[in-house]
A = this chain, B = another copy of it.
Amino acid sequence: MDIGSTEMMIVMQESATGEDVDRILERLDSAGARGHVSTGDLATVIGVVGERDVIAGLPLEAYPGVDKVVPILKPYKLVSREFRRSDTVITVGGTSLGGGHVALIAGPCSVETREQLLEAAVSAQQAGATMLRGGAYKPRTSPYAFQGLGVEGLEILAEAREATGLPIVTELMDPRHLEAVAKYCDIIQIGARNMQNFQLLSAVGEVSRPVLLKRGLAATIDELLMAAEYILKEGNANVILCERGIRTFEMATRNTLDISAVPILKQRSHLPVVVDPSHAAGKVDLVEPLSLAAIAAGADGLMIEMHPTPEIALSDGAQSLDPGQFARVSKRIQDIIDWAGKTLG
């Protein structure tokens, strides 16, 4: 695939010699890229033009005399707003996300039992949710915590879709489970801890299911876009970006929701952006204000944890709404979607 040319600038140190400059020009030349030298009063700058994959591989900062290397164009292409001006809209099971359609994805952290999930699914649907979430494979910090039901959980999710009509979002953690997950679910979720699991990204790039890609705890906005680029590069253009909080020094919340990421992602990319206030805050009573803030900031969807009885949840109970709480929050969310001139689902 032709992924186009890119450009960067190499700023030389004040003490750099003509030989230092020549060495770089030769290296660029041998790699098929071109360098233009511009000599300032105090420093010399080399502008570079070349193919994206060639430039990405050159260790230009390692050359003697180099002060810094400044990329001019973004290192991603397919995900960029420049590549595609209009918003990507993702439609599954008759409901949409992006381009004025706002998704409300709700459900428990983990599929625990058939009863638990079906009850959650029905409550979610009745309160206005447009998609159902639930984990059959769970990434857990502790090896002693509940790890998910696996294929049995996937089957329960499929049954809940039958019962409610809600499309299913579920997490994939291992390329060896891809076939099963793709068979049962409508949208494949890649969790924050796997945002740079590049084998997994490439694998989901080859299937036809949309992918919901969560931002890593320490990933920059551009790294999230590069991770999405891995998926698009393999041919799957239906990627949803998910802001779910980053790790900072502030311990009053589980993570710090980076609300600015919503408008920035939408400026830089045509892909839809979803916010997960439950994981960001880790607290039930922050779900409503953060959900409203996300829609006000331009998000294309919300992903909210809801459990029939949070007190007995096997994971993330502390941040799960119960059905009554979810119904109240959902009403406020639908209100602000109206205010924003957008449509639910």
Q: Which residues of A contact B (CB under 8 A)?
A: 3, 5-7, 9, 11, 14, 23, 27, 36, 38, 40-43, 45, 47, 49, 52-53, 56-57, 59-63, 67, 70, 72-73, 75-76, 82, 139-147, 173-176, 193-194, 196-199, 202, 216-218, 220-223, 226, 229-230, 233, 246-253, 256-264, 267, 280-281, 284-286, 289-290, 292-298, 310-320, 335-336, 339
Contact = CB atoms under 8 A, between A and B. Distances in A.
Contact of A197 (B57, B197, B318): B197
Given A38-B47, A62-B319, A194-B197, 7 more contacts: A27-B311, A40-B47, A56-B145, A62-B313, A248-B258, A260-B289, A292-B297
A311 B62 contact: yes
Residue of A193, A194, A198, A257 with most chain B CB atoms under a 10 A cut-off? A198
Contact of A72 (B40, B196, B258, B293): B40
Contacts of A233: 143
8 contacts: A7-B43, A56-B145, A142-B229, A175-B176, A193-B196, A246-B248, A259-B259, A293-B297
How many chain copies?
A: 4
B67 A144 contact: no
B216 A218 contact: yes
B260 A258 contact: no
A271 to B, nearest CB: 15
A59 B198 contact: no
A220 B59 contact: no
A235 to B, nearest CB: 12
Nearest to A73: B42
A56 B293 CA distance: 32
A222 B142 CA distance: 10
B56 A144 contact: yes
Contacts of A262: 289
4 tightest CB-CB pairs across the interface, nearest first?
A: A59-B317, A218-B218, A61-B318, A53-B144
Nearest to A294: B293
B256 A59 contact: no
A5 B36 contact: no
A25 B7 CA distance: 23
Contacts of A250: 220-221, 246, 258, 261
B75 A142 contact: yes
A49 B41 contact: yes
Contacts of A36: 38, 40
Contact of A249 (B139, B220, B310): B220
A320 to B, nearest CB: 7
Nearest to A52: B144
A175 B178 CA distance: 13
A63 B311 contact: yes
